[in-house]
């Protein structure tokens, strides 16, 4: 895939590497996930968000794309939390807490 930031260079597809999450929104899923935390990605596509307020985190891989989203009661996450060390464990803990207790009682920031 062409690298828009560096004409003449290409980006590998699939993207299989660690990359930064830039937290965009507040949600119990990203509670205590530091901005610019690294997560593990293994994918060859991305989905653009039809609703910008659904984007909880973005990642830069030639373009900024939504890497964690929420729309109503559905979440989507592009990186692999099970392979993303402490950041992934935090996301998984947050999700477990959300589905086992009243999610409205969890902090969002």
| 94 in a structural domain | yes
> What's the pLDDT tens digit per position in 26-70?
999 999 999 999 999 998 888 888 899 999 999 998 889 999 999
* Number of domains composing the chain: 1
Residues of the domain holding 32: 15-98
| 107 in a structural domain | no
For residues 28 and 33, give the distance between their C-alpha atoms in angstroms, rounded to a whole number. Answer: 10
Average pLDDT over all residues of the chain: 89
Q: Cβ distance 87 to 38 under 8 Å?
A: yes
| 6 in a structural domain | no
| 2 in a structural domain | no
User: Which stretches does DSSP call E strand in 24-73?
Assistant: 37-43, 55-60, 64-71
> What's the pLDDT tens digit per position in 3-27?
777 788 887 888 899 999 999 989 9
CATH of the domain at 62: 3.40.50.880
| 1 in a structural domain | no
Q: How is residue 55 written in tokens?
A: 């984007």
Which pLDDT band, with edges at 50, 70 and 90, does 2 fall under? confident
Element (H, E) at 99: helix 85-100
Which pLDDT band, with edges at 50, 70 and 90, does 108 fall under? low
């Amino acid at each position: 895939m062409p690298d828009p930031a560096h004409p003449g260079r290409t980006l590998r597809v699939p993207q299989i590497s660690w990359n930064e999450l830039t937290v965009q929104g507040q949600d119990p899923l990203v509670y205590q996930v530091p901005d610019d935390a690294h997560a593990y990605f293994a994918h060859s596509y991305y989905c653009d968000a039809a609703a910008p307020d659904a984007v909880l985190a973005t990642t830069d891989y030639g373009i900024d794309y939504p890497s964690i989203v929420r729309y109503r009661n559905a979440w989507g996450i592009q990186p692999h939390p099970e392979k993303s060390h402490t950041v992934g464990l935090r996301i998984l803990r947050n999700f477990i807490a959300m589905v086992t207790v009243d999610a409205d009682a969890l902090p969002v920031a």
